Amino acid sequence: MSVLESLLPGKNLLHIENCDIDEAESTITVKVSSVQTKITCPICGFPTTKIHSHYERKLADLSWANYSTSLELRVRKFFCINNECFRRIFTERLPSTVIPWARRTIRLASQLKNIGLALGGAAGIRLSKQLGFNASRNTLLNLVRKIPLPLFDSLKIIGVDDFCFRKCKTYGTIIVDLETNKPVTLLKDRSAETLSSWLKEHPGIKIVSRDRARAYEKGIKEGAPEAIQVADRFHLLQNLAQTLYEVFGIHSKEFKEIEKIRNQSSVVKDEENIVVSTIPTLAPAPTKQQKKAEQRRTRRFEKYQKIWELHSQGWSAKAIAKKLGIGCTTVFRYLRNPTFIERRGRSDKGRSLVTPYQDYIIKRWNEGCRETKTLFEEIKQQGFSGSYTTVSRYTTRLRECQGLKKRQRYSTKRLPKIIKPSKKPLTPYSAAWLILGRSDEEISKSEQEELIVLLKAQSPSLKEGIELAQKFISLVRQNKYGN
């Protein structure tokens, strides 16, 4: 019995009386009784030896090998012999085995809690069953919920940010201890009132890091007026990316120029191969639509100038809106940006109906099929829904790249092979992340550097903007203050 006894929880306090193995059910039932000698009343702490009665509790325990195990625990009830104590009879406690009223041992509850923490209810219960523990989903979740929250008695530096219960619908606030990098609490919303009342309950906070949200600014001012408010690195860099995006947005001309340079430099790779850009090298004559877009831009620009003119004369946003016959929101939107923002180009820029068939066309072209009509028929079979002209525009470009004349299909010279470029066009958005070193495009480090050099070379103000941004980034990332 000694081996079995050492497997018991609280082994020095329990004695095995009997052990039943049910092979068919794969269960072990161990009958144990308490042998602890020092009994004290849980209320007054007075020692006693006066037994009142015995009773049995059934406790689930950890599995032994492949057997689900339960303990039939025989415990005693005692009289409290302290005349001043209000408790007359009590059950003996076995603090290393089980907590009062529980139906499982402490060590089983602890395992279930770990499973619940790692996997949650549904998945946790599947694993528990596999391990031979008999528990329900709610048991797991209740065990997790009962874990006491860590105590943070001396919070000094905290971070405040929002998180979403449902994106764009309901948000809460998370508070993190920035000295230990551990979450402290979750607040039900992201209002100034909730944050300020939490801060009032936790005095002594010296520094609060936050994003630009006005509500947090107000909440901190009210709840912890002594605390210094700072912006964290993540939000500083996020704001920088936004600013860069706006700056790049007003340099659309320069971005077009860069595209041209990139395309030209990629046309001839070597004597064997030619890379053909998907973007036309020559801008087509302005179409009706483009002319209209140009007119719309002019109108927007005039509106922008007018709003800022009135604003600088001290007009309120409301008055400006009334005077110009536009909405207040529009006025605010224009006033948020000190420089005129160009409309973002179409996200499908450089794409046409031919794009999905370009690989096929280039393959056939390199094989020697330079008949637009044949190619048109072939891709039509594959589901192409565009016109003959669209295909013909593309084949004309292929012809131009290889130095063939209009409608020329054969050449006595050996023609270089055509390759599709893999580069995506540079947009203000991708350029902003390029400067931040978080470009998601699959381009090498050296290419990224080349692009930045190219950007800087376009105009003095772009150069200045990028250099300021780079200084700021190194300051934020490497804690280089005072440089």
In the complex, the residues that contact Zn ion under the rule CB under 5 A are 41, 43-44, 80, 82, 85, 87
Residues 175, 159 contacting (CB under 8 angstroms) = yes
* Between 47 and 327, CB nearer to Zn ion: 47
Task: Indicate the burial class of 387 (C-beta count within 10 angstroms; 0-12, 13-18, 19 or more).
Answer: exposed
Angle between helices 358-367 and 372-381 (to 10 degrees): 140
* Between 42 and 327, CB nearer to Zn ion: 42
Supply the minimum distance, in Å, between the C-beta of residue 172 and Zn ion.
45
Supply the minimum distance, in Å, between the C-beta of residue 91 and Zn ion.
13
Supply the minimum distance, in Å, between the C-beta of residue 87 and Zn ion.
5
Supply the minimum distance, in Å, between the C-beta of residue 192 and Zn ion.
51
* Between 90 and 394, CB nearer to Zn ion: 90
Q: Nearest-CA neighbor of 133 among 151, 147, 119?
A: 119
* Between 11 and 76, CB nearer to Zn ion: 76
| C-alpha to C-alpha distance for 344 and 385, rounded to whole angstroms | 27
Report the helix count and the strand count for the chain, using DSSP H and E.
Answer: 16, 14
Residues 31, 69 contacting (CB under 8 angstroms) = no
* Between 88 and 323, CB nearer to Zn ion: 88
Supply the minimum distance, in Å, between the C-beta of residue 12 and Zn ion.
24
Instruction: Residue 268: count other Cβ atoms within 10 Å of its Cβ.
Output: 12
Instruction: Residue 165: count other Cβ atoms within 10 Å of its Cβ.
Output: 11
Q: Nearest-CA neighbor of 177 among 201, 156, 149, 196?
A: 156
* Between 45 and 203, CB nearer to Zn ion: 45
CA–CA distances in Å: residue 355 to residues 101, 376, 379, 390:
70, 13, 11, 10
Q: What are the residues whose beta carbons fall under 8 Å from the beta carbon of 441, sequence distance 6 or more?
A: 424, 430, 434
* Between 100 and 327, CB nearer to Zn ion: 100
Supply the minimum distance, in Å, between the C-beta of residue 33 and Zn ion.
23
* Between 82 and 197, CB nearer to Zn ion: 82
Supply the minimum distance, in Å, between the C-beta of residue 191 and Zn ion.
49
Supply the minimum distance, in Å, between the C-beta of residue 44 and Zn ion.
3
Residues 161, 210 contacting (CB under 8 angstroms) = yes
| C-alpha to C-alpha distance for 86 and 311, rounded to whole angstroms | 78
Q: Nearest-CA neighbor of 198 among 178, 224, 180, 177?
A: 224
